[in-house]
Structure 1
C-alpha cells in the first residue's frame, strides 16, 4: 500500500482554520441575526430580496464544517489523552463560565442544573459540533487503522458505502434508521474523515489553486441555484436540502476550498498564535445564552452603524469577535493548563496514548 508520510500542518492550513471559523461566525450571524433560520420553518415559498442576498452569501459559507473535518482526515488525528481532557475542560469552563457572566448581569444565581449541564456539556450535545467531533476523536485511532491495514480496494469500498449512506440515500431520502440527520451527525463526520484520508493517500488529483478556487465558486453558486430552483418549483422543505452538510456539492465545495489553501504559500508564523483558539471562538459564540445575545445585538449594531453594507459590517464584527475570543482563550489556557498538566503527571493517563495508538 502506498501511504504518504504524514507531514506537520503547514501555516496555510492553520490560516485556513482561522478563515473557516470566521466564516462559521458569519454563517451564524446570517442565520440568526438576519433571521434566515426562521425561513426554514416557514411554509411560504416567498422570500424577499434581502433574505435571498443573505442565502446567496451563505452558499459560500455552508461548507465550513465539512472542511474542518476534511482537514482532520487529511492529516489524521493523532490521539492524545491530554487533548481529550483539554477539550473537556475547555467546554466545561466556557459552559459554566458564560452562565456565571450572564447571571452576574441579570442578578440570577447559578443553579445546580446549570452546573450539571456545564459538566455534561460535551456528551449532552450543548454544542452539536463539539459532541460529534469529540467522539470522532475518540474513534480516530481505530479509523486510522483502515488506511494502514486495508488494501486500496477495501478502503475505497468502505468509502463508497459511506458515500451511498451519507451523500446519496441520506441526502435524497434521509431515512431515520441511518442516523445521517442532514450531515449533523457523528456518522457524517466519519464519512468526511475517510474522504480526507482517501485524498491524502489514494486520490491524486493535483490542480492549480485557481482551479480549486473556481470549483469552490461554481459549487457555491450551484448550492444557491439548488435552493432557488427547489423553492420555486418544489417546496421550501426540499429547497433547504441544498444547505445540508451531506449535500454532495457542499462536500465538493469544502474539498476544493481546502486544496485552494493547500496550494498557498504562507510564512507568517503569528498565524499559529490565533489558529490554536478556533474551537474557543466556536464555544464562546455558540453557547446557548451568548448565541442569541450576540447575533441579535451585533446584527442591530451592523444595521445601525454599517460600514458599506450590513454584510461587510457583520464580517468585520466576526473578525473582531475572533480577535477578542482569542485573548479570552489565552487567559483561560494560562489558568487551566497548569491544572491539566498536574493532573496528567499525577495520574499517568498519558501512558494510555501508546497503548491505544
Structure 2
C-alpha cells in the first residue's frame, strides 16, 4: 500500500524537494564563512564571484520548498498536521535528550526547555512560519477556489509590488522580515497555486527556454551582487534576500523546469519523504555546531575543497535519511492507533 502511494507521485517534483534541501544545506555551509566585502572583491575577485554564484543558486531553496506546497496545494487534515508536529517534536526531543546526556543533565533548564518548544525568536523560524501557513491554508484555498482569475492576478501583482518595495528594496517593514515570515510564505503559496492552476504564459515556454531564463536569473543575482560589491555600493546584499524578485523568479522557474520533467521512481519518492527531517536534524543548534566545524574542515582541504563540500553535504543527507526511518516507523504505529 505504501509502495503504490510512493509510485503515484511525480518523482520529478519529489526530486526537486531533495535538490532544494541539498541547496539549503549548501546555504548553511556558506553561512559559516564571512560574507564577502568590498576588500574581498578587490583582493580575491574570483573567490568572491564564486561565493556570490553559489549564494545565488542556494538562496532560492527555501522559496522553492514553500512554493512546492503551493504548487500542489496544502490539503489541511488532522493526520497530516499531527505528522508534521510529530516530526518536529521527534527531532527536537531526540537531540535535546542527547544534549542533556552529553552534558550530564546540566542543560535541563528553563532556557533549554524554551528552546525545545521553539520559544526563541531564531529557533527554527521556518518551522513556525510554515505551521502558521498550514493553519491559514483553509482560508487561502477558499480564496483560490472562489475568486476569478483576473482578481487572483490583481491580488498577486499588488502583493508582490508592495513586497518588492517595502519588504525588499527599502526593507521598511518588520513584518515581512526579509522573507523570514508567514506573510511572505502566503505570497509564495498563492503565486505557486496560480502558476499550477492557470498555467499563465510565462509557464508555457519550452523547457529549453525555461532553463535559459533560470540561468539568466541566477547570473543576474550573481553579477548584481558582484558589481555592486566591487564598487562598494551597499545594494549588493539585496540580491540575497528571500523577498528579492530575482530570488522569487528563480525559484518559480526551477519549479516550472521540474514540472515539465515527468517520471516515476519509488526510491526518489521514498528519499523525499525524509527531506524535511534533514533540515530539522542538521539545523538543530546541537548538530549545527558540528556542521559548521565540518564546513571549516572542508574549507581547509585546499584546492580540492570543491569536492569536499558536496560530498560532506550528501553524506549528512544520507545519514539523516537512514535514521529518519525510525521516526517514520514510530509515527506509523502511533497514527494507526490515533486515526
TM-score under structure 1 length normalisation: 0.84
Q: Which residue in the other structure is 1:348 paired with?
A: none
Residues 91 and 281, structure 2, Cα contact 8 Å, conserved in 1: yes
Which whole-Å CA distance do the structure 1 matches of 2:119 and 2:278 have between them?
Answer: 16
Q: 1:226 and 1:24 mapped to 2: Cα distance?
A: 21
- Aligned positions of 1:1-357 closer than 5 A: 9-32=9-32, 35-37=33-35, 39=36, 45-47=39-41, 48=44, 49-113=46-110, 116-117=113-114, 119-121=116-118, 126-176=123-173, 179-202=175-198, 203-204=200-201, 205-236=203-234, 238-301=235-298, 303-304=300-301, 309-342=304-337, 344-345=338-339
Alignment deviations for residues 308-337 of structure 1 (CA, whole Å, 9 cap, x no partner): 732332112111111110111111221244
Higher relative contact order (CA 8 A, sep 6+): 2
**Structure 1 unaligned runs (5+)?**
1-7, 346-357
Answer yes or no: is the 8 Å Cα contact 1:147–1:155 preserved in 2. yes
Worse-matched range after superposition: 270-279 or 100-109: 100-109
C-alpha contact 1:36 1:54 (8 A) present in aligned 2: no
SS of the aligned residue for 1:309 comes to helix
Give the SS at the match of 2:300: helix
Report if aligned partners of 1:122, 1:130 keep a CA contact under 8 Å in 2: no
Looking at structure 2, the residues matched to 98 and 216 of structure 1 have their Cα atoms a distance apart, in angstroms, of 38
Q: What is the RMSD of the two structures over their aligned residues, measured on CA atoms? A: 2.3
Q: How far off its partner does 1:194 sit?
A: 0.9
TM norm structure 2: 0.88
Q: CA 1:208/1:123 → structure 2, altered by over 3 Å: closer, same or farther?
A: farther
What secondary structure sits across from 1:175 in the alignment?
A: coil
How far apart are residue 175 of structure 1 and its match? 1.2
**Cα displacement (A) at 1:114:** 5.5
